[in-house]
Structure 1
């Protein structure tokens, strides 16, 4: 009886392994190259140092601080403008923030607040040419008005007819 010659892995389907080669040897497909092969330093060679990490420079920190300050200022301006005179409506209470007649700095406040000084009787949109014209418009809208406040030039012109707020 004769034995057949060795043929490699009898379970390999259609793959013939050449005689004397280990399928698990280095450099074969599916296996990474080992030390001494291209891409790897030879055994015992010094390992190159890690690249130093990039430090954040002063200019970068300064730019971040500037952006944060500008965003904070924009948010503050938005919040403070929500209670300006241009947001007033009939029935709102107002507070005068300045003693100047040219710029009284009126702002909307809660009527239950101790800051409430005036009540808005009417709000009329549009530009007005004189105080006489403004008084005439308030007379037509609210007979018992005491003060006239006009604002123009900020994109929205309007007139407020006010009276003292009685608590």
Structure 2
């Protein structure tokens, strides 16, 4: 008759073998594979403490409105500056001019390139100062004998007279 095996051992196991379910060569109580980076160690808590989420800032309608207003003002300022770069007050002797309006009170003269199809007049003289229609013509006769038109501008801090004639290519 045989003696019963000690408690907790496999009666059918051969001598020297580990109990069923335990890999060979591993001491009991240890993981069968080495730990992988990024995974919790056996017996450790599955996850670390998660920091609380930072509250999101809400972008207010008022802030957006103010930014849009500031950008619009800047855009208008830049547009006005660029459009004034070819006004009559920037004209010099020898520049060609284009009449943007048919109004005699406000002809809206602007500087254009002389090789442009828009070139209508050429500047013969530019004189600083304030002139009436009568004094402008006499001043242009004095400065440029072959002038045909006089243009005066006053008000924007620069008062001047342009003596013009038709431009022919």
TM-score w.r.t. length of structure 2: 0.69
**Unpaired segments of 5 or more residues in structure 2?**
1-48
Q: Could you give the per-residue CA deviations for residues 62-81 of structure 1, whole angstroms, max 9, x where no partner exists?
A: 11111111111111110000
| Partner residue in 1 for 2:148 | 146
Out of 31, 56, 59, the position equivalent to 1:56 is 59
| Partner residue in 2 for 1:159 | 161
How many angstroms apart in 1 are the aligned matches of 2:129 and 2:50? 78
| Partner residue in 2 for 1:117 | 120
Match of 1:82, SS? helix
**Unpaired segments of 5 or more residues in structure 1?**
1-45
How many angstroms apart in 1 are the aligned matches of 2:103 and 2:77? 26
Q: Could you give the per-residue CA deviations for residues 108-152 of structure 1, whole angstroms, max 9, x where no partner exists?
A: 000000000000000000111x21111000000000000000000
RMSD of equivalent CA atoms: 1.3
Structure 1 segments of 4+ aligned residues over 3 angstroms from their partners: 46-49
- Based on CA coordinates, which of the two structures has the bigger radius of gyration? 2
| Partner residue in 2 for 1:79 | 82
Match of 1:137, SS? helix
Match of 2:124, SS? strand
Q: Which moved more, 1:112-121 or 1:68-77?
A: 68-77
Map 1:19-58; keep pairs closer than 5 Å.
Answer: 49-58=52-61
Match of 2:119, SS? coil
How many angstroms apart in 2 are the aligned matches of 1:51 and 1:119? 68
Match of 1:55, SS? coil
